[in-house]
Amino acid sequence: MLQLPSSAATASATEAAVVPGVKSRTPDALGKPSPTIDLTLFALVRGLDTLVRAAPLILASSSTAAAASAAVGSKVSIAGGNAARASPPPRSASRLSRLGSALSDQAEGLIFVVCCAQIMWAWFYHQERLPPTYVKWITNLATMDERLLLALRGMRYGQPIKWSYKDRDITPAGVELVSSLSEELGYPYEWGDPTRIPNTAAEARQMLLEARRANAEPVRNLAKVVVGAARSAAFLATFIVGNWYPICLARSHLPRLFPAVPFSFWDSGLGPLLGSIACGFSIFIEEKRKRAEMALYVAPRALFAVAESTRNGWLSEGRRSALWCERVIFGMAVGTVVATAKYRPDQLRGITGAMGWVVRRPGSVPAVKGRYARGR
């Protein structure tokens, strides 16, 4: 007797069937980033900033009891009217303390350097780790042809187009990739052919700051605005130059100094790596007050890129575990900011300083007037 398969068996067989070449979406993923991930990363960065700024107060309150007990112990140790003299701290400890204070004083700038290095590296080789609007903004600012980025990725990873020097197996599309760009720039077609001897000539655009006409009347406020605008323009120009000069340096000058090193070593990521690190140091041109806000602005994108490089697809595909982590992190970060705004609003800065006005009682006087939106 012919027996028809049960519905459960049919369902299991259907689930087991896999269409070749089609990537099935896991049921515990959204297939796209969470719509609130940007807000969560923003809250996380602001919460960490608030926690770090309030850390000295927490440490000071905890060390008060220790200081009191130490004072009592020093009184007991006095015998025969001779007070024990405290030995001076060692020289190595004083050097470490000075180094620590110097690093903490420049912490905002160093955070900006690290974040920019991560973001620019992702822009060169892994643009899928950044939002499309962010990629478009950097590309327009850099004015770099897309074919050069494809050549750099092909040199390092062999994708999406294989591109390497003196490789006879390279496809015609790989030869056409940079050769067409060379021809458009007015140079011979062969200069972009990777199967020939690499050309060490590279030209970088000269970044010139156009002088602005200053007002003949020496007004202090106007001079302050002009100086601030000049510093911001210098920061942006230095950022772009700092990104491209190491690339041209690794492409043009270093191969001449080290002729025994193959060209594939210089073009497989060293130049973009040096440029990604160097561009962030332009933040030290800006005022210290602006460094913190700029560092907090780029930090969420850098965290997203780091998470994607550590676990690919965890945030970009909206995994269920990522959604739960996002909820917990958002609650803890917002709770930290709200509690600080309630009890110590003077520790807030930037946009989170507005929370001090939200949670304060009606008619009460704020702890620090007019300084919620400025860092100390």
328: which 2 tokens?
A: 């917990």
Averaged pLDDT, 25-31: 63
State pLDDT tens for residues 91-137. Answer: 666 666 666 666 666 777 888 888 888 888 888 888 888 877 778 88
Q: In whole angstroms, give the CA distance from residue 220 to residue 31.
A: 55
Which residues touch 12 (CB under 8 Å, ≥6 apart)?
A: none
* Residue 374's pLDDT band (cuts 50, 70, 90): very low
294: which 2 tokens?
A: 């700029």
pLDDT of residue 328: 93
210: which 2 tokens?
A: 């156009």
Q: In whole angstroms, give the CA distance from residue 351 to residue 373.
A: 6
Averaged pLDDT, 20-42: 69
State pLDDT tens for residues 33-57. Answer: 788 888 888 888 888 888 887 777 7
Residue 33 preceded by cis peptide, ω within 30: no
Other CB atoms within a 10 A radius of the CB of residue 258 amount to: 11
pLDDT of residue 216: 45
Structure pTM? 0.59
State pLDDT tens for residues 271-284. Answer: 888 888 888 888 88
Nearest to 271 by CA among 116, 124, 113, 139: 124
275: which 2 tokens?
A: 């440029």
What DSSP string describes 270-314?
Answer: IHHHHHHHHHGGGGGGS-HHHHHHHHHHHHHHHHHHHHHHHSTTT
Reduced to 3 states (helix: H, G, I; strand: E, B; else coil), residue 88 is: coil
pLDDT of residue 141: 75
Q: In whole angstroms, give the CA distance from residue 295 to residue 1.
A: 75
Q: In whole angstroms, give the CA distance from residue 58 to residue 42.
A: 24
